[in-house]
Structure 1
Amino acid sequence: MAPIDHPQLAHPAAAHTDFSRSSPLDPESFADRHIGVDEPGLAAVLEALDQRDLDALELAVVPAGIRFGRPLDLPEPATETQTLTELRTLAAKNRPMVQMMGLGYHDTITPGVIKRNVLENPAWYTAYTPYQPEISQGRLEALLNFQTAVSDLTGLDIANASMLDEATAAAEAMTLMRRTARSKSNRFVVDADTLPQTIAVIRTRAEPLDIEVVVSDLSAPDSPLPVGDFFGLLLSYPGASGAVRDQQALIAEAHSREAKVAVAADLLALTLLRPPGEIGADIAVGSTQRLGVPLGFGGPHAGYMAVRTDVQRQLPGRLVGVSHDAAGNPAYRLALQTREQHIRREKATSNICTAQVLLAVIASMYTVYHGPEGLTKIAQKIHLQAGQVASALEAGGITVEHAHFFDTVRALVPGRARAVVAAARQAGINLWADGEDAVQVSVSEKTTAEHLRLVVESFGAETTDAPWVPEGDAPTRTSQFLTHPVFHEHRSETAMLRYLRRLSDMDLALDRSMIPLGSCTMKLNATTEMEAVTWPEFAGLHPYAPLEDATGMLELVDQLEKWLVEITGYAAVSLQPNAGSQGELSGLLAIRAYHRSRGDEHRTICLIPASAHGTNAASAVMAGMKVVVVGTDDGGNIDMADLGAKVAQHADNLAAIMVTYPSTHGVFEDTITDLAALVHGAGGQVYVDGANLNALVGVARPGEFGGDVSHLNLHKTFCIPHGGGGPGVGPVAVAAHLAPFLPSHPLGLNDTGTFGSIGAISAAPWGSASILPISWAYIRMMGADGLRRATLTAIASANYIARRLDEHFPVLYTSATGFVAHECILDLRPMTATTGVTVDDVAKRLADYGFHAPTMSFPVAGTLMVEPTESEDLAEINRFCDAMIAIKGEVDKVGSGVWPVTDNPLRGAPHTAESLAGEWDHPYTRAEAVFPPGVVPARKYFPPVARIDGAFGDRNLVCSCPPIEAYA
């Protein structure tokens, strides 16, 4: 590619001081605010690309065979004020009520200092996954606190940094037990008193893996485990009915039969109950929702998993560990990263590639703010109030089924359950009717004495102050928890405020600078889009409440689904998957169910290009398919000859091909329609991975150019923020023939399939529903023209970067016309071969320039994948390019011998403020270290730690808060 010779772009500082525009910004246009490159900037970019306008660029870059020939049929764009007014109207149609239904979802109080300074703070919600740990120490510390709290409360050795929700955590526990149990049986036993959504997700995940799920009533003290072998057992503590049982004997019996045991436990209850680790459990799973995270109509919520050390290296998901930096200081990082899917592919232990970091941070800060005494006091109040309900009901002649409970009282009212629930609704309270004969009352942190009075009166009883005195003893906790100083030092709001600020100041998030990550689309998360998330009309909805309570939310969901259908060209969308990985799995399970409905059970081969996202292969294995890899040619494109040979070889058994489009190599491959025709001709289905949809919206529709199914990343293309590694939403969009196989829910909610549904894929009917207003607002404000302009601006910016940097770092792949799509891969391998400077050195050095690194060594080792998105203005894009060019100048000094390969600003990066003090024995100056070209001292970001020793962290696995002596 030819370098750019564009003098007016050589001094990006000028862009910061030139406030003129060739035409004024329209203050009513949200698209003008969202799209960073203004009209003069766009003119300069297009001139550099030798393109007349964005229309011409589209013709030059996007293959003719896939281009969408008309504007999207979307409402005219609304202003930010209009959008908020419409959201207020939708919110007013909801009826939050007092939620006392339980079943895994409980009302909670998010402390204001956490709500304002984490949930509503872009320093936290715009951060990316901490793959660059030196610039992520704040959120890593918060996650280490989370792991410590979970480990302490469960009494187990190690916990991960969150799961997608409780149900998927239980399903992951099932497969973990299968991998590690001594029993070779394929049977998995589940206590019948388990949350219905958990059982449903387990069944969905078990069936393609040939796991037999045995749901068994283990409620009676002498209930035996099923006859015969089984590899794992899931118990619930408390149960879905609220019952608290001593399960130590059951666990011991399961162990005697060579099975592993997982316990689904309520963390708040574990402040009072003997923890799972002390009664012999191997694994504990659950939700941290009630630790300060709003109900949100079902999500997003952070699940958890804790395990004993003997299975820690099989633990799915993210794991934060403690290592040290180059100066010997303690430092945090993601541990055991070899489990990442892009490395292990079909051999991965799980397809989960994200977590629920933002929600885990909220939960961890809730534990930090309250400490062990505060959590215990909250739990005691809840248990006392539940006991008051039980005493009053029993005094009124109503049978309370369980003697021992934590927060949920199950009352037997033969034939009257619906009437009791209706009476409570009249008083503004939602209870849970289990059939016609039982009602469950779940007390929460927000329950008041007035709520208790209204509930008891709904049963026709009267309140009483008499305590509940059950027969027998409950398994009571005697061990200490949350003993680390971090859970004792931040009780005042002042201290908490400063702690949150200190942590966020250690990190680089999108509110500081461009995050040029390829494939991850770190774009603007507009404040207006975020505003409705914490409104009580959305945040206070229970997912199992009567649907009339959520009229506004369901209207929003319906509109969003219709807009996504229009944008993608498919026939139907399910919003249930709460991560891209779960959307992938949903789509593959739908394909599998479709083939089976036609008698084609033998179609199990899934073709996956070598360039594909790593989660693709892991998802295919989880869907019961066998992965066959298709090669790529020298240009990075799918090798059509190899594809033809593989299709011919496996034609009789071909289930699907998974293809990312534009490709993971950042190119619009012009063979996509030929690929689809080839696979369809052999009876297979085409799965188009929607990770790169930001290059297609308004320009091309995968449902029209050959796709049968796609998952969409709302946390990429549609502006839900990454939150440091979650939340995400990964809806699945399908063609008409696959629509009957979309996810459903065990309680009959959100049944999008008319027959043959794959079952539940996530715990909540609409997944992470409370963050859907973000994507709704984005589409509503952008409109058809704004979305198309955003897509083409992202493509223009990526090509501009490719042109500016190609002379210094060759662009690895381009199309036949010399263009890239929305991202480009910079090849650092020749540089490394001649100078010894590695891709890691360049990535760490970028931190000294105040930038997050692009995606490292994916999809090609030794490269950087850059994606600017449409949200960055030309000044910031040029600042990044100038930083990369300056770094190449530093590399050249190493290559020429000015600096040794073992001691230069790149190998020494990142440089901390501490490193400037004391002796300096490097061949480069302090100024060269921390104030490289373009870095203004007054705006300097100093990484809090130097380069971290990852190998040491993996060899010496420490994944909870170290004792305070470690910091001495």
Structure 2
Amino acid sequence: MKRIDRSHKVRNFHQAKWDEPIIYELSKKGERGILVPEVCDEIKERVGDCVSKLPEGMNRKEPVNLPEMSQSRVLRHYVRLSQETLGADVNIEIGQGTCTVKYSPKVNEQLSRMTEIADLHPLQDESTVQGILEIIHSTDEYMREISGMSRFTFQPGGGSQGILTMASIIRKYHEEKGQDHIKDEIITTVYSHPSDAAAPAVKGYKIIHIHPDENGYPDFEAFKAAVNERTAGFIVANPEDTGVYNPKVKEFTSLVHEYDGLCGYDQANANGLLGVTRAKEAGFDMCFFNLHKTFSTPHGCGGPASGATGVVEKLVKYLPGPLVEKCEDKYTLSYDLLDEEYSIGKVRLFLGVAPVILKAYSWIRSLGAEGLYEVAKIAVLNNNYLFNKLMKLDCVDAPYIRGKQRIEQVRYTLEKLTEETGITTGDIQRRMMDFGMHYWTSHHPYHIPEPITLEPTETPSKEDLDEYIATLEHIFKECYENPEIVKTAPHSSVCHQVDESGLDDPSEWALSWRTYLRKTSDQ
């Protein structure tokens, strides 16, 4: 028998592709998955029909609009959709850019789906939810130790809402001092996440962007020129999405403090810093972590999520409440540490997403302090292995800090490849789908031409990294030798080339079936 040759790293791939309608289009009036029996006469005699006892205001005037389908058709529909999905359990998740997609232990998923967690209700009496309150309190303490902050809230539903929480605290802080009419500017950098500008803009702030110097660090001279009596705060990611870490960040935060501004640390890129450096020592007054990224909960394509937000002692009173307090041998929901007049109020209902906090808690407990530090070291090692391999390719470059390592990710440029072949980074992104792999370009606008942003995290092995690199090399070779196959990609993926001409016109798309029906009713 001939031995199968597995020496070639580029794998053959073809994804299931279904012309699958949305579930409302599959609905057939009168079709049922299960028939619920009518209430029998004996039960009616004892308790009535139940429905007639409901208050009038709780009775629907019309039946709820739900799809009507048999069980087998429902099963086929969702299994087909699952076959058209890629994710960390199917492909090597290196190409998700700044999103820190890592392996999430399945035991933590099982814990979060236990009846004791899945059936919790936020309005239960405290005495019946002591377990989850203890977990929330303990996770708060872990976050404090990791960051140096004094207190955390888990209400924010993601990193952007964590940034909005920080921006809200900045506004309350200056309102209390009667300075809010003067303090109307927030400073950030162009390579920080766009939410670092967008969230404070929602709060009414003017946004000042600092561009990088020749080495990719935020330009300190430009920063000094920007900071003044109008500076309300400074919100920044470090390392930024280029993978460049600003070692002089304390000089930036100290300058803002001279003008009584507050500093918020966007720690979405914290995976390479765990156990290495903390927000407090860098001079920050606030920070947030993405539990759904850094702490492996998992990412979940944008949710469920948690932008755990921490503050120093003087800002605790502004946090959204309640906070979980330990009182002797029990845990309780408390507003005692908050100032009723100056608390920013809830940023979402209750305490955030309990299963997400549980998974983060489990991940931290399983690793311990040394394990978290090991995560950071391996993430940086993996990233710099990938970085060194790709930088040996003639068509790949990475601006800034020549000859120095990056932290946990790199924003590369394919400008040379595009100039020589006409193929863009978007074309290569679509071609990567043909090999079952993801590839991310950049936030818009593209400050780096034809960008790729790769973050391997600590999850992939050397073999995984080599497979990803070999696939990129294969596609780069195609760009020069068979460019048409790249330009017309994807070919083996469920995805296809999308006509984006109508994306800026709301009349051309709908976010829900109800909206679609409303928009097409008179066509």
Q: Please classify the TM superposition score into its range, dividing by the shorter chain length.
A: 0.7 to 0.9
Aligned to 2:193: 613
Verify: 1:539 aligned to 2:118, yes or no. Answer: yes
Q: Distance between the aligned counterparts of 1:469 and 1:503, measured in 2?
A: 38
Aligned to 2:78: 500
Q: Does the 8 Å contact 1:793/1:870 carry over to 2?
A: yes
**Amino acid in structure 2 at the alignment position of 1:594:** Y
Q: Does the 8 Å contact 2:399/2:413 carry over to 1?
A: no
1:760 is matched with which residue: 346, 361, 383? 346
Q: Does the 8 Å contact 2:396/2:417 carry over to 1?
A: no
1:642 is matched with which residue: 198, 222, 228? 222
Structure 2, unaligned runs of 5 or more: 324-331, 518-523
Shift of 1:698: 0.9
**Amino acid in structure 2 at the alignment position of 1:707:** F
Aligned to 2:374: 789
Verify: 1:528 aligned to 2:112, yes or no. Answer: no
2:458 is matched with which residue: 849, 856, 870? 870
Deviation sequence 1:229-276 (CA, Å, 0-9, x none): xxxxxxxxxxxxxxxxxxxxxxxxxxxxxxxxxxxxxxxxxxxxxxxx
Change (3 A) 1:584 1:952: closer
**Amino acid in structure 1 at the alignment position of 2:119:** G
Q: Does the 8 Å contact 1:662/1:692 carry over to 2?
A: yes
Verify: 1:943 aligned to 2:493, yes or no. Answer: yes
Aligned to 1:661: 238
Q: Distance between the aligned counterparts of 2:436 and 2:218, measured in 1?
A: 36
Deviation sequence 1:711-745 (CA, Å, 0-9, x none): 11011100112223311111111111111111125
Q: Does the 8 Å contact 1:606/1:628 carry over to 2?
A: yes
Shift of 1:522: 0.7
1:841 is matched with which residue: 427, 436, 442? 427
1:254-293 equivalence runs, <5 A: none
Deviation sequence 1:729-773 (CA, Å, 0-9, x none): 111111111111111259x94537421211011012x11112211
Aligned to 1:779: 364
Deviation sequence 1:70-120 (CA, Å, 0-9, x none): xxxxxxxxxxxxxxxxxxxxxxxxxxxxxxxxxxxxxxxxxxxxxxxxxxx
Aligned to 2:213: 633
Q: Distance between the aligned counterparts of 2:241 and 2:261, measured in 1?
A: 22
**Amino acid in structure 2 at the alignment position of 1:734:** V
2:148 is matched with which residue: 542, 564, 569? 569
Q: Distance between the aligned counterparts of 1:476 and 1:845, measured in 2?
A: 51
Verify: 1:715 aligned to 2:292, yes or no. Answer: yes
**Amino acid in structure 1 at the alignment position of 2:307:** G
Q: Distance between the aligned counterparts of 1:375 and 1:596, measured in 2?
A: 57
- Of 827-836 and 811-820, deviating more is 811-820
**Amino acid in structure 1 at the alignment position of 2:477:** G
Q: Distance between the aligned counterparts of 1:674 and 1:371, measured in 2?
A: 67
1:328-367 equivalence runs, <5 A: none
- Of 514-523 and 846-855, deviating more is 846-855
Q: Secondary structure at the match of 2:232?
A: strand
Aligned to 2:327: none
Q: Distance between the aligned counterparts of 2:57 and 2:367, measured in 1?
A: 62
1:412-427 equivalence runs, <5 A: none
Q: Return the index of the structure with the highest Cα Rg.
A: 1
1:409-488 equivalence runs, <5 A: 467-468=52-53, 476-477=61-62, 481-482=65-66, 487-488=67-68
Q: Distance between the aligned counterparts of 2:153 and 2:56, measured in 1?
A: 47
The TM-score, its normalising length taken from structure 1, stands at 0.47
Shift of 1:953: 6.4
Taking only aligned residues, the RMSD between alpha carbons, in angstroms, comes to 3.6
Q: Distance between the aligned counterparts of 1:743 and 1:141, measured in 2?
A: 43
Q: Distance between the aligned counterparts of 1:522 and 1:892, measured in 2?
A: 31
Verify: 1:724 aligned to 2:310, yes or no. Answer: no
Q: Distance between the aligned counterparts of 1:592 and 1:548, measured in 2?
A: 36
Aligned to 2:258: 681
Q: Distance between the aligned counterparts of 2:121 and 2:179, measured in 1?
A: 40
**Amino acid in structure 2 at the alignment position of 1:611:** Y
Q: Does the 8 Å contact 1:857/1:864 carry over to 2?
A: no
- Of 715-724 and 496-505, deviating more is 496-505
Verify: 1:513 aligned to 2:91, yes or no. Answer: yes
Q: Distance between the aligned counterparts of 2:188 and 2:156, measured in 1?
A: 22
Q: Distance between the aligned counterparts of 1:502 and 1:640, measured in 2?
A: 53
Change (3 A) 1:627 1:464: same
Shift of 1:496: 3.1
Q: Secondary structure at the match of 2:226?
A: helix
1:552 is matched with which residue: 121, 128, 131? 131
Change (3 A) 1:141 1:862: farther
Q: Distance between the aligned counterparts of 1:641 and 1:563, measured in 2?
A: 36
Shift of 1:663: 1.1
Verify: 1:594 aligned to 2:173, yes or no. Answer: yes
Q: Distance between the aligned counterparts of 2:377 and 2:173, measured in 1?
A: 36
Aligned to 1:957: 508
Change (3 A) 1:633 1:372: farther
Aligned to 2:184: 604
Q: Does the 8 Å contact 1:616/1:658 carry over to 2?
A: yes
Q: Secondary structure at the match of 1:841?
A: helix
Shift of 1:617: 1.4
**Amino acid in structure 2 at the alignment position of 1:531:** Q
Q: Distance between the aligned counterparts of 1:136 and 1:726, measured in 2?
A: 25
The TM-score, its normalising length taken from structure 2, stands at 0.84
Aligned to 1:623: 203
Change (3 A) 1:469 1:512: closer
- Of 588-597 and 547-556, deviating more is 588-597
Change (3 A) 1:502 1:943: same
**Amino acid in structure 2 at the alignment position of 1:677:** S
Q: Secondary structure at the match of 1:864?
A: strand
Q: Secondary structure at the match of 1:801?
A: helix
Q: Distance between the aligned counterparts of 1:671 and 1:137, measured in 2?
A: 50
Q: Distance between the aligned counterparts of 1:741 and 1:822, measured in 2?
A: 32
**Amino acid in structure 1 at the alignment position of 2:373:** R
Shift of 1:374: 6.4
Q: Does the 8 Å contact 2:490/2:496 carry over to 1?
A: yes
Q: Does the 8 Å contact 2:190/2:211 carry over to 1?
A: yes
Shift of 1:603: 1.7
Aligned to 2:411: 825
Q: Distance between the aligned counterparts of 1:514 and 1:473, measured in 2?
A: 49
Q: Distance between the aligned counterparts of 1:773 and 1:370, measured in 2?
A: 40
Change (3 A) 1:674 1:872: same
Q: Does the 8 Å contact 1:687/1:710 carry over to 2?
A: yes
Shift of 1:864: 0.5
Deviation sequence 1:451-483 (CA, Å, 0-9, x none): xx9xxxxxxxx95558349899988238x945x
2:386 is matched with which residue: 774, 778, 801? 801
Verify: 1:810 aligned to 2:396, yes or no. Answer: yes
Aligned to 2:328: none
Q: Secondary structure at the match of 1:732?
A: strand
**Amino acid in structure 1 at the alignment position of 2:185:** I
Q: Secondary structure at the match of 1:951?
A: coil
Change (3 A) 1:685 1:817: farther
Q: Does the 8 Å contact 1:688/1:710 carry over to 2?
A: yes
**Amino acid in structure 2 at the alignment position of 1:778:** W
Q: Does the 8 Å contact 1:709/1:735 carry over to 2?
A: yes
Q: Distance between the aligned counterparts of 2:30 and 2:144, measured in 1?
A: 48
**Amino acid in structure 1 at the alignment position of 2:363:** Y
